[in-house]
């Protein structure tokens, strides 16, 4: 391959192999015969002095098949950062190392073969999925998994939620779930459009309040009306704590761009504004937490379904350990983000003169509310509450919700997520092991596989807010794959 040389088979049977150069006037040739009663061939003649004209060298290299290239790249398929090679990387490497100009289709086929050498085939992955789910539940208490198939045993859905996540969420986390979609980058794709999300929420979380990510709405406003100032006004209106502040920003938006004003009203202020939200959103105005998870999976999404599930398990195992250690080592009684916010508000509270009666802002330290609404909605003391607490010599940490305290954070990540080990070590009951899960019945799309996500729309990103006592078992959604 390095010399851009190509040969063809002149004669091949059970006893003789005769190779010659692809160029008819070249003297290169190799002749080998089978050693009697042996399984190998012995070279009898070899003319290794090709005299092909340079302009006749074929740089597409038919001997550089997808199988050969896949075997070459398999040892370095994944770098230290977890990034998987892409066809463009293979094209560049083969050109720099061997001078071969690959078509994208051959580079993609080589990548798929290298993935199968390293991680197995899609068929093997789907077949092992039931065993993986069984071992995961056995080694991780309270973990829930579910696999849905068609009547013909073709894969539809895979669901898993770790017991460590369930317990930590129920005891310690703010009652908000961020939902965002993703798609696998392999042969079997998953749509990231969320028309089914609202239906699922109504069935699984009937008592939840469904709201939208304001960043995605603001992006739609920016792309639709091409006005940065309009987007900024919408953001300020959405984040406003008080009705008077919301009304002021919306009136400015109406004067500046009436169409944009009508557009966001049509979506419904109760879906995106802090003021009109029926229940508390805390500071969860966007789905950045879900976007962060998608970013961590940007390379793993190319892998097989069971390999991806194991990648997620391993990633969460590291996160739980590292975040528990970080929480234990925090110096403040509050988590770092809440502590930083409080420090900013303490600096601001120095300008307030606290009066026991009658002032612009009224603080009730017992009920933990303030007329500015920041204290009420964030469950963190606002600058006015901090000034009042200082006047009464109260510890401001006593005014903070438990969600923001370091011991609660440490408790949330205190349960370990256990490894499942190698499949060769699994002990699986026959009924689980023999369950058949076939690959989805899909039609492969023509052209290059899609890597980028669909454009954002207001209904694509959801925030689910609920009161914990109103939930039943199905809310434990953490990871779900839908094959279309």
Q: What is the pLDDT, as a whole number, of residue 73? A: 87
CA distance 380 to 370: 11
Which residue is associated with the tokens 């004003």? 261
3-class SS letters over 298-317: CCHHHCCHHHHHHHHHHHHH
If you average pLDDT over residues 202-226, what whole number do you get?
Answer: 83
Q: What is the pLDDT, as a whole number, of residue 137? A: 96
313 has a pLDDT exceeding 50: yes
Averaged pLDDT score across all residues of the chain: 80
Distance of CA 170 to the CA centre of its chain: 23
String of DSSP letters for 318-371: HHHHHHHHHHHT-SSSB-HHHHHHHHHHHHHHTT----SS--SS-EETTTTEET
Given a contact cutoff of 8 angstroms between Cβ atoms, the answer to whether 238 and 213 are in contact is no
Q: What is the pLDDT, as a whole number, of residue 292? A: 79
133 has a pLDDT exceeding 90: yes
CA distance 459 to 212: 7
The residues, ordered by sequence, that sit 6+ positions from 196 with a Cβ below 8 Å of its Cβ are 482
Report the relative pairing of strands 144-149 and 462-465 from DSSP bridges. Answer: unpaired
Which residue is associated with the tokens 């307030």? 352
For the chain, give every domain's residue range. Answer: 7-119, 124-212+286-327+413-482, 225-269, 334-404
Which DSSP letter does residue 44 get?
E
Given a contact cutoff of 8 angstroms between Cβ atoms, the answer to whether 52 and 3 are in contact is no
- pLDDT category at 181 given cuts 50, 70, 90 is low
Given a contact cutoff of 8 angstroms between Cβ atoms, the answer to whether 128 and 423 are in contact is yes
pTM for this one?
0.72
- pLDDT category at 469 given cuts 50, 70, 90 is very low
Which residue is associated with the tokens 């071969």? 100
The larger pLDDT score, comparing residue 17 to residue 467, is at 17
CA distance 186 to 451: 9
254 has a pLDDT exceeding 80: yes
Q: What is the pLDDT, as a whole number, of residue 86? A: 86
Tokens of 44: 């009898």
109 has a pLDDT exceeding 80: yes
Q: What is the pLDDT of residues 37-53, one digit of tens each?
A: 777 888 888 887 777 65
Nearest to 72 by CA among 132, 131, 12, 118: 118
Given a contact cutoff of 8 angstroms between Cβ atoms, the answer to whether 175 and 463 are in contact is no
Q: What is the pLDDT of residues 368-401, one digit of tens each?
A: 889 889 998 888 998 888 888 888 888 999 999 8
Which DSSP letter does residue 450 get?
P
String of DSSP letters for 61-102: -TTS-HHHHHHHHGGGSB-TT-PBP-HHHHHHHHHHHH----
Winning range, highest mean pLDDT, from 39-53, 66-80, 341-355: 66-80
If you average pLDDT over residues 266-291, what whole number do you get?
Answer: 81
């Amino acid at each position: 391959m390095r010399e851009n040389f190509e040969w063809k088979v002149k004669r091949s049977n059970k006893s003789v192999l005769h190779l010659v150069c692809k160029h008819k006037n070249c003297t290169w040739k190799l002749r080998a015969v089978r050693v009697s009663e042996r399984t190998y061939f012995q070279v009898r003649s070899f003319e290794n002095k090709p005299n092909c004209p340079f302009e006749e060298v074929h740089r597409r290299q038919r001997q550089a098949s997808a199988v050969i290239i896949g075997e070459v790249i398999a040892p370095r398929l994944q770098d230290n950062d977890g990034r998987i090679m892409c066809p463009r990387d293979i094209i560049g490497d083969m050109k720099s190392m061997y001078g071969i100009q690959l078509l994208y289709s051959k580079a993609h086929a080589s990548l798929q073969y290298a993935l199968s050498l390293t991680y197995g085939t899609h068929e093997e992955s789907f077949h092992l999925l039931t065993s993986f789910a069984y071992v995961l539940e056995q080694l991780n208490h309270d973990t829930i998994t579910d696999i849905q198939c068609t009547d013909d045993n073709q894969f539809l859905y895979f669901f898993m939620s770790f017991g460590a996540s369930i317990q930590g969420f129920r005891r310690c986390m703010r009652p908000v779930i961020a939902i965002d979609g993703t798609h696998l980058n392999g042969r079997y794709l998953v749509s990231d459009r969320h028309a089914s999300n609202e239906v699922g929420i109504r069935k699984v979380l009937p008592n939840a309040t469904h709201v939208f990510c304001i960043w995605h709405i603001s992006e739609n406003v920016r792309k639709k009306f091409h006005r940065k100032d309009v987007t900024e006004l919408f953001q300020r209106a959405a984040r406003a704590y008080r009705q008077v502040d919301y009304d002021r920003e919306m009136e400015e938006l109406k004067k500046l761009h009436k169409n944009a004003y009508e557009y966001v009203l049509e979506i419904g202020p109760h879906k995106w504004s802090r003021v009109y939200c029926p229940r508390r959103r805390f500071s969860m105005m966007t789905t950045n937490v879900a976007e962060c998870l998608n970013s961590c999976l940007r390379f793993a999404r190319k892998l097989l379904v069971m390999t991806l599930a194991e990648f997620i398990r391993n990633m969460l195992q590291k996160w739980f350990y590292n975040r528990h250690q970080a929480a234990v080592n925090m110096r403040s009684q509050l988590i770092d983000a809440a502590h930083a916010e409080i420090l900013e508000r303490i600096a601001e509270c120095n300008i307030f003169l606290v009066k026991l009666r009658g002032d612009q802002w009224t603080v009730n330290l017992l009920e933990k509310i303030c007329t500015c609404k920041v204290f009420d909605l964030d469950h963190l003391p606002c600058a006015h509450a901090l000034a009042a607490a200082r006047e009464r010599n109260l510890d401001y940490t006593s005014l903070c919700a438990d969600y923001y305290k370091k011991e609660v954070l440490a408790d949330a990540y205190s349960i370990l997520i256990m490894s499942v080990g190698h499949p060769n070590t699994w002990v699986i009951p026959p009924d689980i092991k023999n369950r058949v899960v076939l690959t989805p019945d899909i039609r492969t799309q023509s052209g290059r596989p899609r890597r980028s996500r669909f454009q954002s729309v207001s209904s694509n990103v959801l925030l689910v807010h609920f009161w914990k006592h109103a939930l039943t078992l199905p809310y434990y959604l953490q990871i779900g794959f839908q094959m279309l």
